[in-house]
A = this chain, B = another copy of it.
């Protein structure tokens, strides 16, 4: 290993590990990466097939213009307040590229999305974690932190906790740097922080088509924010970061509001059923505003996860405090949840 060729600041680096993706069609019940249990809109599939033609020889629009316009229309914004990324993860990364110099502080509540910390390493930023305890509310120490960038996943993952707009606004108002609100799960929550854009110049909302649009396989995210911050992000992104098929899919997805509404409402209904059934099995739960539930089984989490795995059921477990006793379970279809609950009954009783 020519380890000396790797950057010095990445020696000993532990990258973010995504949840396991078993090969398709092998009968797994996959409740570990918060994908949608329901498929994308049929209009998205049609749009992709229509775009799969000889024009693929040409680069996409560097601004993903049609997708920006469709998203802007949907949220009542100007297209200059929207940019599109290769998944929400790319947009988080672009916030570092645009707003964080080497040595700058990046603050976030913990536990949270485990990508934030490795991104600090990659960008030579100083992570400034703000630990929270049950019930995982927004920590008061976050607002006065002088970080260049604050990252707030809202709803948060893996906890599913939702921070109301007023609390987030208090952080935004007290911050001299950027506050990026990762709203990947917000469609399953009571409301978005979108109104903050009207009154604040330092706030960005990051969204994704991966969850509530059923398009994790396509990698499309978007950011909403003041035009000058969007311009800063655009200046540091790859020229053609979103491909022609993803652009076509994004337009079709955002325009099929009925499919989106139905998908969200089915997930919210199933979330309620799942939470109720887990409580009946003796799990501790915090209320979830996302497309997953975070629950503490009455037996050691690692044991429960292993038992599920034997039965080809995948859930997510972060083996670190203060959440080592908890597991995160994606809301599934009714059938998936019945399989899960039957397995859990065997494992915990």
Contacts and interface: CB of A to CB of B under 8 A. Distances in A.
Interface residues of A, number: 81
A210 B44 CA distance: 24
A202 interface: yes
Interface string A191-231: 00000000001100000001000111111000000101100
A18 B214 CA distance: 31
Q: Which of the listed residues A54, A93, A210, A245 has the most CB atoms from chain B within 10 Å of its own CB? A: A245
State the oligomeric state as a number of copies. Answer: 2
B99 A60 contact: no
A89 B61 CA distance: 15
Nearest to A9: B101
A134 interface: no
A24 B55 contact: yes
B238 A218 contact: no
10 contacts: A3-B228, A6-B99, A18-B239, A36-B57, A45-B54, A57-B216, A90-B241, A124-B124, A218-B245, A219-B240
Interface of A: 1-3, 5-10, 13, 15-16, 18, 21, 24, 30, 33, 35-40, 44-45, 48-49, 52-62, 86-87, 89-90, 93, 97-102, 104, 115, 122, 124, 148, 177-178, 201-202, 210, 214-219, 226, 228-229, 232, 234-236, 238-246
